[in-house]
Each structure stands twice: as structure tokens, then as C-alpha cells.
Chains A and B, each alone.
Chain A
Amino acid sequence: MYQVIGGIISPVNDNYKKKDLAAAHHRVAMVQLALQMSDWIRVDTWECEQAQWMETVKVLRHHHHQLLRSLSPEEGPDQGTAVSPAPAAAPELKFLCGADVLKTFQTPNLWKDEHIQEIVEKFGLVCVGRAGHDPKAYIMGSPILRRYQHNIHLVREPVQNEISATYIRSALGQGQSVKYLLPDAVIAYIKNHNLYSRDSPQKGNGTRNSGAETGQGGPATAPLSSP
């Protein structure tokens, strides 16, 4: 049995160079606005503040380390968590993603096998379903995932909600309304900073990476968020 004590949204580094990726400080600001009303999810800027893009497993290691440090006996209980003073087991950090990300584990050269293993073995995955995806099949089709399937929690989405950032950007580019798909505060921010309109300057325009394609060589890239 689990008790979820916190959620972290970690926007990717600008050096990921994904097409249409707006500057990190904007993306962080928008997440903060979106989380205004949340009492348990927060945004973390460590990843996007690094000098280079970094693999997901490194981000997980960093946050797990931070989590253990903040709850260790020497430093006293962290004020911000809802955990009871003496947790029976060490807190676990799990990678939350959509089924589309799970599928990208299959893309050649996108993830290092040892990273996939570390993610499912040491941390664990919480995977939310998405229309058109069959996460059980992805797990069964991969020896690593199969071995650690007990550590992969599949969440069925009772209310199917196919809002994708790709659609949002496309609708905005065409001057269509995205009200009720995003929090009003985020929509206002996008408007005020002229993000995602047809003529607004975007980082990463012109590169062919779309998250699921192979990188340009060098260290294997790893997709982090939905396209």
C-alpha cells in the first residue's frame, strides 16, 4: 500500500532541443501558475537549470537523493511533507509518465538499456493510460520491463482526456480557443508573452527531433514529457 506524499513536475532542459520548445523560464512559470491551487504538486527547476540536457535516470537519482536527505533523522522531519514523523519504509521516488513514453523505451538509441533497468528496478514507474496505447503489450514485449513488471504500476484513466500539448500549440497557432483545456492563468501568460503563436520565435525550430526520433549521435537521448 502506498501513500503519495508529493508530486514533482520537472520541465526538461532547453538543450533537449525539441521542436517548438519554449524557453525553460516560460515553461517553469506556466507550470507554477498551473499549480497555484495544488497543495501537493510542485515544480522543480534543477533539471532545466543544468548546463546540458540530462538523462531521466539522473534526474530521478537527484530527486531521490534530495528526498532522502530531507527526511533523514539528522536533519529532522521535513516541514513540507505530510509524512508521519517515523515512516516505516524509506520514501520512494517513482517516474510518472503516460503510456506513450513507455512505448518510447522501444525506440532504438533513445534510452540506454541500463537506464531503463535502473528506472524500473531502483525507482519504479507509474504509467497513466493514453488512447491508442497498450502499456501491457509494451511491458510484455520487453525483457527488462517484464522482469520488473511488479514495479510498473499501470493507471487506468477512468475519464479519458486526450489533451496534448501538441494540440494546444497547434490550436494556439490557428488562433483557436484553448479555454478549459489549460488553467486560465496559463492561457493569460501565453498570451502576454506571445508564446506558441504562428509568428512567435521558438527555440528548437528547424530541428527534426520530436522526442521519439533518434538523436544526432553522442549520448542517447531520453524523452521526458509528452510530445
Chain B
Amino acid sequence: MEDPGKTEVVLLACGSFNPVTNMHLRLFELARDYMNGTGKYRVVKGIISPVGDAYKKKGLISAHHRVIMAELATKNSSWVEVDSWESLQKEWTETEKVLRHHQEKLEAGGCDRQQDSPVLERPGRKRKWAEQRSEVSQKKSLEPRTKGVPEVKLLCGADILESFGVPNLWKSEDIAKIVGVYGLVCVTRVGNDAQKFIYESDVLWKHRANIHLVNEWITNDISSTKIRRALRRGQSIRYLVPDLVGEYIEKHSLYSSESEERNVGVVLAPLQRNTADTNSNPTV
């Protein structure tokens, strides 16, 4: 069913997924409809890549649980899956490196090969250890993409786009690579400032053709922060997260005032790393 005129795309979403919500899942659906609708792309896969514990965000519970919840959430999806590579790294890993990892995996022909899931084995989808990864991990810049290999693009909400402006959160060379080499698919609320933000940034403006803004007509305010708050207050999160995720959270009593205090006073990993770097460049 390949269409030679269309570029195949893999949508990669990075983030805490603390917990995964229906909003996260909606991003994938909206992005796929949009990209396929342009007539130029065919979205072949979606990947949820939960961040590792070393990210040190406040309230971040263990990657083990976050990966399992994401797997429960995508159980009934025919095209979105979870990848635990990022979450298994000992050190926090920049988003650009995660994109690179997945792009290289595709180049190496590993479209269906997956890392071992920590716990959940999906029937019919055997996961193998991708040893090839270590051989290609030292590439400094990507060679021209092999024809026929899907392109990995970063899927995100407008908040991520605007976080490019937060000092020391992103390396400017990473931002340049993310929009220049890979591409961004950014789901935004109507009337959002995403376009203005792109206009006001030289590097984003330069690669604006590679930044796809997708309109979210339904205001979808289901943030993980609000979910955790509702749980602390004993309020229902039904219909905001998939039922299986809600049941898992309840069964393991995952979110509480105590869990929300994790990493309080600890500096977020990217801020730590980029401030410590004596050659850090001002971000965009």
C-alpha cells in the first residue's frame, strides 16, 4: 500500500506522561489526520517515549509505572505504541538524541523491532533488543535520509514550542536540529500564539516549512498536573484518562501529596546540564 509520492512519517512524543491522559492520545489522532490530510505525508506510526527518572521533575513518579500506564493507554491503538528506550537510560537524554535514536533505528531497518518492555508484553508484538543501535550512535550529523525510510518528527503541544524560549532548557543547536533535520508537528489551540512565536525566532522562522501547526478545535485542558491534583483531592478522573490507566493508578495508589513532593528542591536535569556547560549558548 505504499504511495511513492508520499513521505512516510513517524510521530514521536516525548514528555513526562505523568500520567498519560486522553489529551496526549488525542494529539496523535489530530496530528495524523492533519499530516495525512496534506496529501504529502502518510503517518505510519506513533511513539510515546516517556522521559527517564533522571529528568528530576517535581512529582515525577517512577518510569516503570509511567511506561506501563502508557502501554495500557495504547493497548487499543492500531498505530500508537510505547518505547521505553529513553526511560531506561541512566542519565537524562536530550530530546534531539531521542529523535536521533529512533531515526537511526528506522534507517537500520528496525521498523518493527522494539526494546524490551520492563513488564508488559503485548501479544503478537515480540520485542527484541536492538543491538545495532550502539553501532550507529556516534554519528555527529545525519547523512541524507535514505529513500524510503520514514521520517521521525517530534509531536508536541504549543507549550513545548514555547518552552524553546526558556533559558537553558534547550540547547540552541538542538532546537536547530529538531526543526531543521527532523521537523515538528505542533498541536495548538485556535488563537494560540504559536505562529507569533515562530515569527519572532530566527531559527524557527528559517525552518517554518518543517513546523506543522495543527489546530485543536476542541479545547482540551486535560493536563497531567490537573489529573494529579484531582486525584489528591479524591475527585473523579473518569473519562479524562483511559479506564485501564485509571484502574492502574487506583490499584497502585500512584499519586498523592507525598509523590507530588518528589524532586522538590532538585534542579531539573536540562537546566542543571546546560547551566553547568561553560560554553552554553543563549537559547533562541
List residues of chain A with CB within 8 A of the CB of B22. Answer: 180-181
Q: A179 contacts which of B29, B222, B226, B243 (Cβ < 8 Å)?
A: B29
A84 within 8 A of B: no
Q: Is the CB of B220 within 8 A of A162?
A: yes
- Nearest CB in chain A: distance from B34 CB, A: 9
Cα A184 to Cα B230 with chains together (Å)? 24
Q: B221 contacts which of A159, A164, A179, A180 (Cβ < 8 Å)?
A: A159
Q: Is the CB of A163 within 8 A of B222?
A: no
Cα A50 to Cα B30 with chains together (Å)? 40
Q: Given A158-B230, A161-B240, do A176 and B33 touch, yes or no (CB 8 Å)? A: yes
A177 within 8 A of B: yes
Chain A residues with a Cβ closer than 8 Å to the other chain, count: 18
Q: Is the CB of B240 within 8 A of A159?
A: yes
- Within A160-219, the residues touching B (CB, 8 Å) are 160-164, 167, 176-181, 184
Cα A178 to Cα B29 with chains together (Å)? 8
The digit string for B227-246, where 1 denotes a CB below 8 A from any CB of A, is: 10110000100101011000
List residues of chain A with CB within 8 A of the CB of B220. Answer: 161-163
CB-based A-B contact count at 8 angstroms: 49
Chain B residues with a Cβ closer than 8 Å to the other chain, count: 25
Q: Given A158-B230, A159-B222, A162-B220, do A181 and B240 touch, yes or no (CB 8 Å)? A: no
In the assembled complex, 27 residue pairs joining A and B whose CB atoms fall closer than 8 Å, in A order, are: A131-B219, A158-B226, A158-B229, A159-B227, A159-B230, A160-B219, A161-B218, A161-B240, A162-B219, A163-B218, A163-B220, A164-B218, A167-B217, A167-B218, A176-B33, A177-B29, A177-B30, A177-B32, A178-B29, A179-B25, A179-B26, A179-B29, A179-B77, A180-B26, A180-B29, A181-B26, A181-B218
B interface with A by C-beta (< 8 Å) = 22, 25-26, 29-30, 32-33, 76-77, 217-223, 226-227, 229-230, 235, 238, 240, 242-243
**Besides A158-B235, A162-B218, 20 other A-B contacts (C-beta < 8 A):** A38-B238, A158-B229, A159-B221, A159-B226, A159-B227, A160-B219, A161-B220, A162-B219, A163-B218, A163-B220, A164-B218, A167-B218, A176-B33, A177-B32, A179-B25, A179-B29, A179-B77, A180-B26, A181-B22, A184-B76
Which 7 pairs of residues, A with B, have the shortest CB-CB distance? A160-B221, A177-B29, A162-B219, A180-B25, A180-B22, A162-B218, A176-B33
